[in-house]
Chain A
Amino acid sequence: MNSLVPLFVIIPLGSAFLMAIFGRIIKGFNKVLLPLALLFLTYLSIKFLLGAEGTITYQVGGFAPVAGVPIAIYLAVDGLSRLMLTIISLIGFLACFYSISYINIYTAERKYLILFSLMIAGMNGIVISGDIFNIFVFLEIASIASYALVAFGIDRQELEASFKYQVLGGVASLLILFSIGFLYWRTGTLNIADISTQLPYGGIFVKFIAMVFLVGFGLKAAIFPFHSWLPDAHSSAPSPISAMLSGVLIKAVGLYVIFRLFFNMFALSHQIAMIITVLGTLSMVIGGLLAIGQWDIKRLLAYSSISQVGYIILGVGIGMLILSRQGNTAVASLAIIGGIFHLLNHSVFKSLLFLSAGAVEFRTGERNMKKLGGLAEVLPVTSSTSMIASLSISGLPPFNGFFSKLLIIIAAVQAGYYLLALLAVIISIVTIGYFMKMQKFTFFNRSRVFWQDRNIREVPFVMCFSMIILALLCFALSLLMIPSLRDVVLTPAVNVLVEGLKYTNAVLGY
Chain B
Amino acid sequence: MREMAFLGFALVLLGFWAMLTRKNILRIIIGFTIIDSGIHLIIVNLGYLPGRTAPILEKGMRVGDLSKHFVDPIPSALVLTAIVIGLAVTALMLVYAVRIYERKRTLNIDKYRELKW
Contact = CB atoms under 8 A, between A and B. Distances in A.
B100 A171 contact: no
Nearest to B103: A156
Nearest to B112: A160
Nearest to B35: A174
Contacts of B43: 177, 181, 184
Interface in B50-87: 74-75, 78, 81-82, 85
Contact of A171 (B32, B75, B97): B32
B88 interface: yes
A163 B114 contact: no
Contacts of B99: 151, 154, 159
Given A167-B32, A174-B36, A178-B39, A160 B19 contact: no
A140 interface: yes
A147 interface: yes
Contact of A140 (B36, B39, B89, B115): B89
A166 B96 contact: yes
Given A147-B92, A167-B19, A184-B75, A177 B82 contact: yes
Contact of B92 (A156, A166, A182, A185): A166
A181 B35 contact: no
Interface in B82-117: 82, 85, 88-89, 92-93, 96-97, 99-100, 103-104, 112, 114-115, 117
A137 interface: yes
B89 A166 contact: yes
Given A171-B19, A171-B35, A181 B46 contact: yes
A222 to B, nearest CB: 15
Contact of A166 (B35, B39, B93, B117): B93
B78 A163 contact: no
A190 interface: yes
B85 A156 contact: no
B42 A178 contact: yes
A160 B46 contact: no
A185 B46 contact: yes
B70 to A, nearest CB: 14
B60 to A, nearest CB: 24
Interface in A125-179: 133, 137, 140, 144, 147-148, 151, 154-157, 159-164, 166-167, 170-171, 173-174, 177-178
B93 A167 contact: yes
A161 B115 contact: yes
B37 to A, nearest CB: 10
B85 A137 contact: yes
A333 B112 CA distance: 47
Nearest to B113: A160
Nearest to A188: B72
B92 A148 contact: yes
Chain B interface residue count: which class? 20 to 34
Given A170-B89, A171-B19, A181 B42 contact: yes
A78 interface: no
A232 interface: yes
B97 A156 contact: no
A232 B39 contact: no
Given A151-B96, A167-B32, A181-B43, A173 B78 contact: no
A167 B85 contact: no
**Which of B28, B75, B93, B97 neighbours the largest number of chain A CB atoms within 10 Å of its CB?**
B93
Contacts of B85: 137, 140, 173
Nearest to B28: A167
Given A140-B85, A163-B25, A157 B96 contact: no
A160 B107 CA distance: 11
B115 A157 contact: yes
Contacts of A178: 12, 39, 42
Interface in A231-272: 232
Interface string B36-48: 1001001100100
A495 B39 CA distance: 36
Given A167-B19, A170-B93, A181 B75 contact: yes
A184 B97 CA distance: 35
Interface in A422-466: none
A133 B25 contact: no
A299 B117 CA distance: 9
Given A159-B100, A232-B115, A184 B46 contact: yes
B19 A144 contact: no
B96 A162 contact: yes
B17 to A, nearest CB: 13
Interface of B: 12, 19, 25, 28, 32, 35-36, 39, 42-43, 46, 74-75, 78, 81-82, 85, 88-89, 92-93, 96-97, 99-100, 103-104, 112, 114-115, 117
Which 5 residue pairs of A and B lie closest in terms of their CB atoms, listed nearest first? A181-B43, A185-B46, A140-B85, A156-B103, A232-B115
Interface of A: 133, 137, 140, 144, 147-148, 151, 154-157, 159-164, 166-167, 170-171, 173-174, 177-178, 180-182, 184-185, 190, 232, 294, 299
18 contacts: A140-B88, A144-B89, A148-B92, A156-B103, A159-B99, A159-B103, A160-B115, A162-B96, A166-B96, A167-B28, A170-B32, A170-B93, A171-B32, A174-B32, A174-B39, A181-B46, A181-B75, A184-B78
